[in-house]
Structure 1
Amino acid sequence: MFESGFKNVNINLTSANSRRTFSCGDIVTGTLSFDLTKETKITSITMALSGNVDVHWSSGSGGKKRHRRHFSAKINLFLLKSGLLLENSLGGGPTKLPPGTHVYPFTCHIPHGDFPSTFHGVHGKIQYLLTVSIDRPWHFAKSFETELNFLERINNKPELWAPLSGSNSMYVCCLCWASGPVELTATLERKAFMRGEIVKVICEINNASSRTVTPKARLKERQTYYTHGRHNRNSGTRNLVTQNGEAIKANSSDVHKELLLTIPTNTHLTISNCPILEVDYMIEVVVDVRGSSEVIVRCPIIIYDYNIYNQIPQQP
């Protein structure tokens, strides 16, 4: 067994920030450490840093496998390899390591590129892995891995920080006659928000109908998975948080309401730069008309990370 003679195998990463996150262009440093209880021959110790996307889902009816179709796709974003300990080319054989603690420092550079953030979803994942493989004579190589929390650097586009607004209206029918319209204008202070941030939704409502209406706002997440070429897809939407406002009486005009939505701290980041996996968000502002349909204004937003935003130069 590989474990014979080996104890306490650890990969320890160091990060430039307290949250232990990484982004493109960052230098990853750390150590591989392990204890040996006896003299051991090592052929090589190699390290690989990789970024990978993997999606998979199935569809169809019935419990039997032949009634279901399976879909999957994979992408390798990058793969970097290096050696921490290589076979002694001069001596022509493996390296003999004595009993005790052995520590091997390593340094690698995450390449520059438009890479999506780390993600673990229902039907897929985006992973950045540092894998160390230890190879011994007459043994299968044993691999140990640790995952990097990778965050995409967002582009500092002016439209992300500009106010976002939309309007909609609906006439309410009551038996054989129609009352006045219900009009909604919803405004957000900007399009980009951080996890844990409170979003202020400003609602301007004209209720010329004969019914009571109630404003509400909800944050919705959509995860979409694709096969290569996007010939097949699987998409699902869920409500993350909802905030209800106070009811507005019939025949009320120029009503100003503010609804506060807190983005959950465990929300995924927006992913829009991956060909087989997307995560997007929308704040749906609704005026619920008693006994009738809803008036809806949809505002697409993005969710980003605080540390990454701080590294982006601000517009003058």
Structure 2
Amino acid sequence: MSLTVKNISVTYNSINQSNTFTSGDFISGHVILDVAKDTLIQLLSVKMKGKAKVCWTEHYGQTTIVYSDKEKYYSMERFFVLEDKTHGDFEMLNDPSGQPYSSVVAPGRHVYPFTFQLPQQHFPPSFKGSVGKIVYALEAKLERAMRVSSKDKAEFHYVPKPDLTVPELMAPQYGTKDKQMKLFTSGSVSMRINIEKMGYYLGEGLKVLAEVQNNSSRSIKPKYCLYEKHSFFAKGKRKLHTQDLLKEEGEPIEPNSKKTVTKVLSIPPSLAISILNCKILKVEYRLRVYLDVPYASDPEIKFPVVILPPQPLSDPKDIDFGIWKQPAESNMYLNPPPIAPQAPPLHVVGTPGQFGASYPAPPHVQLGASGYPAPPLGQFGPDSHRSDPSAPPPYQDYQLYPQFPDHPEKS
């Protein structure tokens, strides 16, 4: 910063206790400029923007290759001062009295208020991962003649509105698995797993019902693992990060017995919301249910889990999800989301693979290697508001994973 311009900063006002914003919200703030003497300004602006970016390096012997890509969602710039108005479209802001701002500012502090409205489209939520991020920010910019421009940026946290209109999010899922024992263990085991739905809120309980038939010669134990998958894509490459989030186990099931066990796993409140509508990065979750069999490979079933935005109050009478945990001054969710339509259960058989291209239409379909149902359209449902060309495409416009011929998909 020069001796003339002591400081430039941009701030915004919170609208709720969680300090988050969603589609359609208004975000207001100020650009603050401190100068030491009379200063001639060529440009003073504030911009609101959202974009995703991934970047990582890989080493091949002596060669290092950088893989990077980005996806822009929107960029809106408004000007307090603009001397050169001959190029492009621009939107000028006036002072509180309705008069244009002067391009010459006196010594001291000057405050420039602004207000933006976030687009109505469903964008991916704010996210920061190991080699990728989704950032929404306000940026102030100052330009003067023969001087390096000065900038300041303030990031804000964007959370999309929940969309429960996709029936599959609230539909039950179930799967079955049989295994014949060999070598040190004889007999067979089988399990049938049921979970209540696919979509869960942060902090909500994930209930797992397991029917286990142990016809083997050894005791077996059901185990549960919830893990996350972060996938990053650039230049035809995929970088994958997986991490176990929680592990729990049930009581042993004795040989030649059948037992039905129920386990409730608490979704950690610190997890990132699922991201399924970004071309260059994905945030996904899986529930892995398996039987711990001594001296043999463990039979397992995997289920997709979608983490939704904020948790509704769990009052049984609120079946329309009409009461939301928001402070009185919040305008994040002015209307309750619609009640989710009923749908047939999703059936997973054997060891599931990747998500399929779409949800299975008929009930109780026996799925093969691509045993997972597809993630919801858009963020958590079809996007019916794509009037803005900068908005991300609906989910059906692209596959969950780009198809790379030399890099097979991982589950």
Structure 2 residues not aligned, in runs of 5+: 86-100, 313-320, 325-332, 342-411
Q: TM-score, normalised by structure 1?
A: 0.87
Matches within 5 A, 1:1-316: 1-2=1-2, 4-7=4-7, 9-62=8-61, 64=62, 66=63, 68-87=64-83, 95-156=103-164, 157-175=166-184, 178-179=186-187, 181-227=188-234, 231-253=236-258, 255-306=259-310, 310=324, 311=333, 312-315=337-340
* Gap change, CA 1:26 and 1:212, over 3 Å in 2: same
What secondary structure is seen at the aligned counterpart in 1 of 2:16?
A: coil
Quote how far apart the aligned CAs of 1:3 are. 5.5
| Counterpart-to-counterpart distance in 2, 1:169 and 1:268 | 34
Structure 1 residues not aligned, in runs of 5+: none
Which residue of 1 is the match for residue 363 of structure 2?
Answer: none
Q: Which runs of 4+ in 1 moved over 4 A?
A: 307-310
What secondary structure is seen at the aligned counterpart in 2 of 1:267?
A: coil
What secondary structure is seen at the aligned counterpart in 2 of 1:294?
A: coil
Aligned-CA RMSD value: 2.5
- Equivalent pair of 1:46/1:83 in contact (CA under 8 Å): yes
* Gap change, CA 1:303 and 1:3, over 3 Å in 2: farther
* Gap change, CA 1:138 and 1:58, over 3 Å in 2: closer
CA deviation map 1:147-181 (0-9, x unaligned): 12111234321221122221112111245x841x2
Quote how far apart the aligned CAs of 1:94 are. 6.6
* Residue type at the aligned position of 2:6: F
* Gap change, CA 1:45 and 1:294, over 3 Å in 2: same
Quote how far apart the aligned CAs of 1:261 are. 2.1
Quote how far apart the aligned CAs of 1:127 are. 1.0
| Counterpart-to-counterpart distance in 2, 1:301 and 1:3 | 55
What secondary structure is seen at the aligned counterpart in 2 of 1:182?
A: strand
Identity within the alignment, %: 29
- Equivalent pair of 2:203/2:311 in contact (CA under 8 Å): no
| Counterpart-to-counterpart distance in 2, 1:258 and 1:307 | 23
Equivalent residue pairs, number: 304
Quote how far apart the aligned CAs of 1:295 are. 1.5
CA deviation map 1:111-152 (0-9, x unaligned): 232311111111211111211102233321111001121112
| Counterpart-to-counterpart distance in 2, 1:243 and 1:190 | 19
| Counterpart-to-counterpart distance in 2, 1:262 and 1:5 | 52
* Residue type at the aligned position of 1:187: N
Q: TM-score, normalised by structure 2?
A: 0.68
| Counterpart-to-counterpart distance in 2, 1:2 and 1:212 | 74
CA deviation map 1:172-198 (0-9, x unaligned): 1245x841x211122222211122223
- Equivalent pair of 1:31/1:104 in contact (CA under 8 Å): yes
- Equivalent pair of 1:269/1:304 in contact (CA under 8 Å): yes
* Gap change, CA 1:4 and 1:242, over 3 Å in 2: farther
CA deviation map 1:172-227 (0-9, x unaligned): 1245x841x21112222221112222322222111111111111111111111112
Quote how far apart the aligned CAs of 1:88 are. 10
- Equivalent pair of 1:160/1:190 in contact (CA under 8 Å): yes
* Residue type at the aligned position of 1:46: S
More strand by share: 1
Quote how far apart the aligned CAs of 1:5 are. 4.5
CA deviation map 1:295-315 (0-9, x unaligned): 111110101211798542224
